[in-house]
């Protein structure tokens, strides 16, 4: 009798069957999705075909919910009765920072662990064969950069060295390299270990940055170090010592370092082509302070002071019985203060302030065989006698505000103010240039799905020095083509003020202009990266210096680039290969027509290999760089025009660099012995030619010595750098 009552009761609560499918918004099956009647225990899971089926006792107005990791949940109101119900669900993918496509056209990013396309790290810089821990030398092994060895700077995609700017924590660095010496490239001022992140943009870079026609090298300094550390370095070339102290709560740190470089002993062992009457000496001291804020932000301060001097003699090209004696004294002081803060409700703030001052005292003197100054009466020789005293200051403030939109989309906007002061005394001629430079910018990162992203921005700039303004739009799009693969396109307009060299002559200039078009494809896995990119760059309003100073120059650059990095195929071997093809011509300065500039090679390639042998705690690093010959010209004035009276191309550039790192513990100290050699195979390196005043004779521009050899010991107490080196190369 009791069983009859139970059966009668259940008849009033019969189960209803709910079925359907779960797919994404592109029609792809979603397996493993959870479907349930909201507020009940009734539900099911979609199978490998995307279908689901379950029964429920619930009746009346209900809500059925479908959810899956990586997708937005979807709620479907229904009325449940006795009849079966079919509900097809379409879930939209949840846009997340780890899964979302990234805009990569024109940029190499490194140091951001959230991205698989890591190309360059601080340890990469110090373990690249023959680079001698110089950031620029390592960047030259990436696609787009030219192998220019006679002057400092990054020459990118047909652009001159001054068309690439370097930024630290958002603000531009006015003098990133040591002062120029004719035909001898100078290295960068900053240690690679100062930075945790690197973006090398060969074009199409963010609207947050400006005043660079071709490229931007964007560097982000480290935050709080993991632990306190003392350092010392010793070599025949330099001595150094430093200390980094981290608070016990790891919320603040400070550090200081000093290095002294003197190459007298090295030059005594390795003869140099120039006759150095004053050996190159460098003093470098720096200090840093970092503190975390209560809201999770950080304040960072860095200051560096450099002082260096040198003097050298070389034969006068017009009269080999005479000499050109060149001497240089330089002091440089750089300061950078930044504050990154979370403001709440999706807002972030980045403030940056920097100040630098650079002083040069340069004398060039024609001397006889007894090293005494002479006057010949020949204008083309006597005009090379000069004295130059210069000072260049740059103060800048930059503010950027970010607002998180839906998902991970962000809009950012801000402004920048720079005050530059440049004063020079050339022989008896005084010149002064001051500029109040202002800019406003806005940019949005828009993620429509995990597969589609866009970066759109615009930048406004105004210079009081040339009394001109500009508006520069930027746009990039990215589409994920599959697992680890994506395509990107980028378009942008970029402006740059003329260099001070020309502004000292006249301020009747406008901005120079470059328009970039870029398409690229990137494929990433955990241990491998493939990248291909094509580009076209149109130059307008370049500087012409003949017959008058104006902005009538023009040009173009186009080409394709490939990059492959592999840590997987060969056990324990990390290598990358880069190749660049460049077709570029420009009509600027005193060029009589559009010509391939003398800093541009058509084909450039690099192979970098790194192998760490754990049994002997030693890393072996090789870098081979190749470039086809660069053009050279002798332009002779012929009335109202210049004629090309001699031209050709240099021999191809071939350079094999090598370095070896041996790791050894000394009690509580961790040591790294470093041996580095450039041009191991003693190849002839010719960068171009210098001509006599009439072009009747030319001399090849070559390095001061066939190769450079460095040996040193680096010690640290408190941080085991050896394990970092091992882990990076396994």
**What 8-state DSSP symbol labels residue 178?**
P
Q: Give the per-residue pLDDT at 14.
A: 77
pLDDT band for position 468 (cuts 50, 70, 90): very high
Q: Give the per-residue pLDDT at 41.
A: 78
**pLDDT tens, position by position, 7-26:** 334 444 578 999 999 998 87
Over residues 630-646, the mean pLDDT reads 93
One DSSP character per residue, 362-416 reads EEEEEE-TTS-B---S-HHHHTT-EEEEEEEEEEEEEEEEEEE-STT-EEEEEEE
Distance CA(305)–CA(309), nearest Å, equals 14
> How many alpha carbons fall within 13 Å on the CB side of residue 182?
16
**pLDDT tens, position by position, 546-589:** 999 999 999 999 999 999 999 889 988 999 999 999 999 999 99
Give the residue carrying structure tokens 């105004």: 462
Q: Give the per-residue pLDDT at 107.
A: 59
Q: Where in the chain is the domain with CATH 2.40.170.20?
A: 107-729
Strands (E), 550-613: 550-566, 573-587, 603-613
Q: Which helix (H) or strand (E) holds 665?
A: strand 653-666
Q: Phi and psi for 184 in degrees, rounded to 5? A: -130, 110
Q: Give the per-residue pLDDT at 407.
A: 78
**What pairing do the DSSP bridges indicate for beta strands 688-691 and 698-701?**
antiparallel
Q: Give the per-residue pLDDT at 286.
A: 96
Most confident of 181-195, 285-299, 666-680: 285-299
pLDDT at 377 over 60: yes
Q: Give the per-residue pLDDT at 725.
A: 47
pLDDT at 488 over 60: yes
Over residues 607-627, the mean pLDDT reads 93
pLDDT band for position 158 (cuts 50, 70, 90): very high
Better-predicted residue by pLDDT, 525 or 165:
165
Q: Which helix (H) or strand (E) holds 275?
A: strand 275-292
The residue among 34, 158, 63, 101 whose CA lies nearest residue 584 is: 158
Over residues 348-373, the mean pLDDT reads 96
Mean pLDDT across the chain, nearest whole number? 90
pLDDT band for position 5 (cuts 50, 70, 90): very low
**pLDDT tens, position by position, 184-198:** 999 999 988 888 877
Over residues 662-683, the mean pLDDT reads 90
Over residues 604-620, the mean pLDDT reads 92
**What 8-state DSSP symbol labels residue 162?**
G
pLDDT at 127 over 90: no
Distance CA(547)–CA(556), nearest Å, equals 22
Could you tell me if 647 and 631 are in contact, meaning their C-beta atoms sit under 8 angstroms apart? yes
Could you tell me if 105 and 520 are in contact, meaning their C-beta atoms sit under 8 angstroms apart? yes
One DSSP character per residue, 434-447 reads EEEEEEEEEEEEEE
Over residues 299-318, the mean pLDDT reads 96
**pLDDT tens, position by position, 432-459:** 999 999 999 999 999 888 788 899 999 9
Which residues are registered as beta bridge partners of 564? 530, 577
Q: Give the per-residue pLDDT at 106.
A: 57
pLDDT at 27 over 90: no
Q: Give the per-residue pLDDT at 484.
A: 84
Q: Does domain 107-729 have CATH number 2.40.170.20?
A: yes
Distance CA(335)–CA(337), nearest Å, equals 7
pLDDT band for position 226 (cuts 50, 70, 90): confident
Tokens of 303: 């200051």
Over residues 677-681, the mean pLDDT reads 95
pLDDT band for position 97 (cuts 50, 70, 90): low
pLDDT band for position 1 (cuts 50, 70, 90): very low
Q: Where in the chain is the domain with CATH 2.60.40.1120?
A: 15-91
Q: Does domain 15-91 have CATH number 3.40.50.300?
A: no
pLDDT at 154 over 60: yes
The residue among 166, 111, 169 whose CA lies nearest residue 290 is: 169
Distance CA(174)–CA(167), nearest Å, equals 9
Q: Give the per-residue pLDDT at 314.
A: 96
Distance CA(590)–CA(544), nearest Å, equals 6
Q: Give the per-residue pLDDT at 51.
A: 93
Q: Give the per-residue pLDDT at 722.
A: 53
Distance CA(531)–CA(554), nearest Å, equals 30
């Amino acid at each position: 009798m009791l069983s009859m009552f139970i059966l009668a009761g259940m008849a009033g609560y019969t189960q209803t069957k709910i079925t359907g499918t779960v797919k994404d918004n592109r029609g792809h099956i979603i397996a493993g999705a959870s479907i349930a009647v909201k507020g009940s225990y009734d539900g099911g899971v979609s199978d490998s075909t995307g279908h689901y089926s379950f029964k429920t006792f619930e009746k009346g107005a209900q809500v059925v919910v479908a959810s899956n990791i990586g997708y937005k949940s979807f709620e479907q109101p229904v009325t449940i009765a006795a009849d079966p119900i079919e509900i097809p669900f379409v879930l939209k993918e949840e846009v997340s920072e780890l899964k979302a496509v990234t805009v990569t056209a024109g940029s190499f990013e490194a140091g951001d662990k959230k991205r698989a396309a890591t190309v360059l790290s601080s340890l990469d810089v110090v373990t690249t064969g023959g680079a001698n821990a110089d950031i620029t030398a390592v960047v030259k092994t990436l696609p787009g950069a030219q192998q220019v060895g006679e002057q400092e700077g990054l020459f990118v995609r047909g652009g001159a060295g001054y068309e690439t700017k370097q930024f630290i924590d958002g603000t531009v660095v006015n003098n990133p390299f040591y002062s120029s010496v004719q035909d001898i490239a100078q290295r960068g001022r900053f240690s690679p270990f100062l930075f945790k992140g690197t973006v090398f943009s060969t074009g199409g870079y963010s609207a947050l940055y400006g005043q660079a026609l071709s490229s931007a090298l964007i560097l982000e300094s480290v935050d709080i170090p993991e632990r306190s550390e003392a350092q010392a370095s010793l070599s025949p070339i330099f001595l150094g010592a430093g200390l980094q102290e981290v608070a016990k709560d790891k919320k603040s740190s400070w550090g200081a370092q000093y290095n002294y470089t003197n190459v007298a002993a090295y030059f005594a062992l390795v003869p140099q082509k120039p006759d150095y009457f004053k050996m190159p000496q460098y003093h470098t001291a720096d200090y840093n302070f970092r503190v975390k804020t209560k809201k999770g932000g950080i304040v960072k301060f860095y200051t560096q002071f450099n002082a260096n001097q040198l003097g050298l003699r070389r034969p006068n090209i017009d009269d080999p019985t005479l000499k050109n004696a060149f001497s240089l004294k330089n002091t440089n002081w750089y300061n950078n203060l930044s504050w990154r803060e979370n403001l709440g409700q999706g807002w972030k703030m980045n403030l940056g302030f920097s100040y630098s001052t650079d002083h040069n005292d340069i004398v060039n003197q024609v001397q006889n065989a007894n090293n005494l100054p002479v006057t010949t009466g020949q204008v083309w020789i006597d005009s090379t006698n000069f004295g130059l005293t210069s000072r260049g200051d740059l103060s800048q403030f930059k503010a950027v505000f970010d607002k998180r939109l839906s998902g991970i989309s962000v809009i950012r906007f801000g402004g920048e103010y720079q005050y530059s002061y440049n004063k020079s005394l050339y022989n008896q001629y005084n010149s002064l240039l001051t500029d109040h430079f202002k800019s406003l910018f806005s940019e949005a990162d828009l993620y429509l799905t995990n597969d589609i992203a866009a970066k759109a921005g615009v930048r406004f700039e105004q210079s009081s020095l040339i009394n001109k303004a500009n508006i520069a739009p930027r746009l990039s799009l990215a589409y994920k083509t599959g697992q680890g693969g994506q395509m990107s396109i980028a378009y942008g307009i970029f402006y740059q003020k003329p260099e001070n060299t020309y502004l000292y002559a006249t301020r009747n200039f406008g901005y120079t202009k470059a328009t970039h078009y870029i398409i690229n494809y990137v494929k990433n896995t955990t241990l491998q990266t493939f990248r291909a990119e094509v580009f076209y760059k149109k130059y307008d309003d370049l500087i012409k210096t003949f017959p008058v100073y104006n902005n009538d120059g023009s040009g173009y650059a186009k080409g394709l680039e490939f990059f492959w990095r592999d840590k997987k195929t060969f056990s324990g071997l990390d290598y990358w290969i880069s190749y660049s093809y460049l077709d570029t011509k420009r009509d600027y300065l005193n060029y009589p027509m559009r010509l391939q500039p003398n800093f541009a090679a058509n084909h450039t390639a690099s192979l970098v290999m790194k192998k760490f042998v754990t049994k002997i705690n030693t890393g072996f690093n090789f870098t081979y760089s190749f470039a086809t010959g660069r053009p050279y010209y002798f332009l002779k004035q012929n009335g109202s025009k210049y004629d090309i009276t001699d031209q050709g191309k240099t021999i191809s550039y071939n350079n094999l660099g090598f370095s070896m790192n041996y790791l050894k513990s000394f009690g509580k100290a961790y040591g790294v012995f470093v041996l580095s050699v450039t041009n191991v195979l003693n190849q002839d390196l010719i960068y171009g030619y210098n001509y006599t005043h009439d072009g009747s004779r030319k001399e090849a521009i070559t390095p001061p010595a066939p190769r450079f050899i460095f040996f040193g010991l680096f010690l640290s107490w408190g941080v085991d750098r050896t394990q970092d080196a091992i882990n990076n190369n396994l």
